[in-house]
Amino acid sequence: MASLLGRFCRKLVVPGSAHGSRMISTTACDSEAVKSLNLYSAINQALHIALETDPRSYVFGEDVGFGGVFRCTTGLAERFGKNRVFNTPLCEQGIVGFGIGLAAMGNRAVVEIQFADYIYPAFDQIVNEAAKFRYRSGNQFNCGGLTIRAPYGAVGHGGHYHSQSPEAFFCHVPGIKVVIPRSPREAKGLLLSSIRDPNPVVFFEPKWLYRQAVEEVPEHDYMIPLSQAEVIREGNDITLVGWGAQLTVMEQACLDAEKVLDFIFQLKDNWFKVSNMGLELIMQEGISCELIDLKTLLPWDKETVEASVKKTGRLLISHEAPVTGGFGAEISATILERCFLKLEAPVSRVCGLDTPFPLVFEPFYMPTKNKASSSSSLSSPLKKKRHYLIMGLHVWCRYWMQSSPLLITSHSICFFR
Amino acid sequence: ISDDSSFYGGHGIVGAQVPLGCGIAFAQKYAKEEAVTFAMYGDGAANQGQLFEYICLWDLPSILVCENNHYGMGTADWRAAKSPSYYKRGDYVPGLKVDGMDAFAVKQACKLAKEHALKNGPIILEMDTYRYHGHSMSDPVGAHTFTRDDISGVRQERDPIERIKKLVLSHDLATEKELKDFFINLNIDMEKEIRKEIDDAIAKAKDCPMPEPSELFTNVYVKGFGTESFGADRKEVKAALP
């Protein structure tokens, strides 16, 4: 059937969103001054505000003095002095351990790990020390002022050690929070919330968006609450859940799914045109997608996702990290527990492959919009009774008017999708 | 990375390779090979926590080589460590500071180190060198304190190739002109050879067929472990367990 369609159909070219379009945060835009900023500038602004408002806050890490390799810390050392913003030796376990100690004395330590791929030497400090500090001391001590910032995610040419997404490892550790922003406005608000949160937070920044994402960011001090997911795009047919840079890809997949059906017929016979109207009715039944940004992965907002899946009946989760043991598995298991009877199809995970992050094979590894679109959940939401009704009418009309092969083809399109 | 030349390649976390090198040295000692392992790291990586415990305990034939160009990425060595004398860092492990820009000195030092390692145990070599460019695109030349004048000064005084050239001239082993011709010819020949190698490689790459989808999973585990991916989104993965 696919080959038959291939001969008769041609993809309709729809001027969709250009590659590189970014999502606009849907948090309300108030009348305060806004400025068009990219992600690293928004984070820079957040750090300036954090250091300004709390005199006992510090920023340190490798090379942060001159601004950092991604320029997130520009101007901080000049403005706040070398005693508050300083470079550390090249030792991640030392950096985080030092930060824990500083936070234990009631300060706010904003630690930078240069790439998330290098966070593993500090893993012991984060898991065994930071996460358990309050717990093991019976709340006598805590290191809540600790915030660890690290750029994560694919960037096109990063290879094994500059592209990893290690969020899943940290989501397995009770005692810390894991936060991932999707855009400049979100990043500033979430970073300020993370710094001021009385728990240690690991804040992953999508490095791909550092310069690519530009958005109107309010200049004042604002915070976005943690552990609250946001529904970026309303829909009825399927719920898509993601975080960080992956949301851009998923939005493209949503647009693809929602647009006018991408097949038109090349048949030259006139009688084809008569039944066009019926065909168009079917064509316009695109798939309406609900897109959710989790923002905080640990502890994550189960209620929002649950409510959405109960409405739509389908779930697709997408992240860059390898699929086995990725955070999508946790979301899938929880939603299955809570929404089993409402689910129309298995939960779908469109994620990276189970390999180390490749260099040359990166285009094959990444969960692209095409992989999301062709995933089983997105390509066949046939539960709608409307669909069947229209198809039924069509079948009846054409049969009565001596049905043409066209009918069968249009009928199959719906099933194909 | 190459098996026949015993070069075990680069690593993600700088400094991670030193315990690895010690493991290799242990294997060499165990197998009674008269061989040593050179574990190379930089002045920045000298501050990672994993460095020294492993080389000392078992008197391994390993030589730790610290290439000290005085800058760990963007941070100067005196800002990164209280003691920038990296050759002394081994405490009871002997260390030698070598002028890394002098090819003969380096050669002699390595020879000495190998003899010492095989007879007595580990030794640290600190190679004092210089870095002309930044660590990465984000680390411009101006970011550290050396100015362009300093750089050209070093190039004249201490550059290894320049230095050998001066030695050759001062010992009358060749005239200026002979050297110049030699270098020009060498450059041209080398360049031709390199260009040819690259062109050949590009042509070969373009002619090659696309690799099998199973290539994506090659060498993740032992080859032939049987991981395959299929499906439109390559999401379905099948792995054959042993």
pLDDT value, residue B224: 55
Q: Which mean pLDDT values do the consecutive 10-residue runs of chain B (242 residues) have?
A: 68 71 79 80 70 68 85 73 76 85 90 90 87 70 59 77 84 81 83 91 89 74 62 58 46
Angstroms from B143 CA to nearest CA on chain A: 7
The rounded radius of gyration (Å) of the Cα atoms in chain A is: 25
Its sign, for the CA torsion B10, B16, B20, B21, is: positive
- Measure the CA–CA gap between A387 and A283, rounded to whole angstroms: 10
Tokens of A383: 């539960």
- The SS3 call for residue A351 is strand
Tokens of A310: 């109960």
pLDDT value, residue A388: 43
Longest dimension (CA), chain B: 71
Contact between A319 and A326 (Cβ < 8 Å): yes
Q: How many CA atoms lie within 13 A of B159 on its CB side?
A: 12
- The SS3 call for residue A410 is helix
CB distance A354–B217 less than 8 Å?
Answer: yes
- The SS3 call for residue B16 is coil
CB atoms within 10 A of CB A330: 17
Q: Does A323 touch chain B (CB under 8 A)?
A: yes
| Nearest to A193, CA basis, from A183, A207, A203 | A203
The rounded radius of gyration (Å) of the Cα atoms in chain B is: 23
A 368-407 near B (Cβ less than 8 A): 370-372, 374-375
In the block, residue with structure tokens 């930089």: B42
pLDDT value, residue A20: 36
**Which chain B residue's Cα is nearest to A118?**
B13
Tokens of A246: 């992956």
**How would you write the pLDDT of chain A (417 residues) with one tens digit per residue?**
444 443 433 333 333 333 333 344 444 445 678 999 999 999 999 999 999 999 999 999 988 988 889 999 999 999 999 999 999 888 888 899 999 999 999 999 999 999 999 999 999 999 999 999 999 999 999 999 999 999 999 998 999 999 999 999 999 999 999 999 999 999 999 999 999 999 999 999 999 999 999 999 999 999 999 999 999 999 999 999 999 999 999 998 888 887 744 443 333 344 444 445 444 444 445 788 999 999 999 999 999 999 999 999 999 999 999 998 999 999 999 999 999 999 999 999 999 988 899 998 888 889 988 888 777 666 665 434 344 444 444 444 444 455 444 444 444 333 333
CB distance A323–B75 less than 8 Å?
Answer: no
Q: Does B210 touch chain A (CB under 8 A)?
A: no
The angle at the Cα of A95, spanning A212 to A129, to the nearest 5 degrees, equals 110
Q: Name every chain A residue with its beta carbon within 8 A of the beta carbon of B13.
A: 92, 118, 120-121
CB distance A94–B49 less than 8 Å?
Answer: yes
Angstroms from A123 CA to nearest CA on chain B: 13
Which of B14, B49, B216 comes nearest A364 by C-beta?
B216
Q: Name every chain B residue with its beta carbon within 8 A of the beta carbon of A256.
A: none
Q: Does A66 touch chain B (CB under 8 A)?
A: yes
**Which chain A residue's Cα is nearest to B13?**
A118
**Which chain B residue's Cα is nearest to A61?**
B75
CB distance A90–B215 less than 8 Å?
Answer: no
List phi, psi (to 5°) of B158: -115, -5
For residue A299, say if its preceding peptide bond is cis, omega within 30 degrees of 0: yes
Tokens of A108: 């706010």
Determine which of A63, A86, A87, A90 to mutate to test the interface with B (most B C-beta atoms within 10 Å): A90
Q: Name every chain A residue with its beta carbon within 8 A of the beta carbon of B233.
A: 350, 370-372, 374-375
Angstroms from A178 CA to nearest CA on chain B: 23
- Measure the CA–CA gap between A367 and A65, rounded to whole angstroms: 36
- Measure the CA–CA gap between A63 and B75, rounded to whole angstroms: 6
Its sign, for the CA torsion A155, A157, A158, A160, is: positive
- Measure the CA–CA gap between B142 and B140, rounded to whole angstroms: 5
CB atoms within 10 A of CB A387: 16
Q: For the segment B20-69, what is each residue's pLDDT rounded down to a tens digit?
A: 777 788 788 778 777 888 888 877 776 666 566 666 667 788 888 888 88
pLDDT value, residue A414: 39
Angstroms from B232 CA to nearest CA on chain A: 7
| Nearest to B64, CA basis, from B77, B82, B45 | B45
pLDDT value, residue B87: 79
Strand-pair partners of A85 = A59
Q: pTM for the whole thing?
A: 0.77
pLDDT value, residue A42: 96
Sheet holding A57-61, edge to edge: A85-87, A57-61, A108-112, A146-152, A201-206, A177-179, A296-298
Which of A63, A355, A374 comes nearest B232 by C-beta?
A374
Angstroms from A210 CA to nearest CA on chain B: 13
- The SS3 call for residue A231 is strand
Q: Name every chain B residue with its beta carbon within 8 A of the beta carbon of A88.
A: 80
| Nearest to A89, CA basis, from B215, B133, B47, B89 | B47
pLDDT value, residue A360: 87
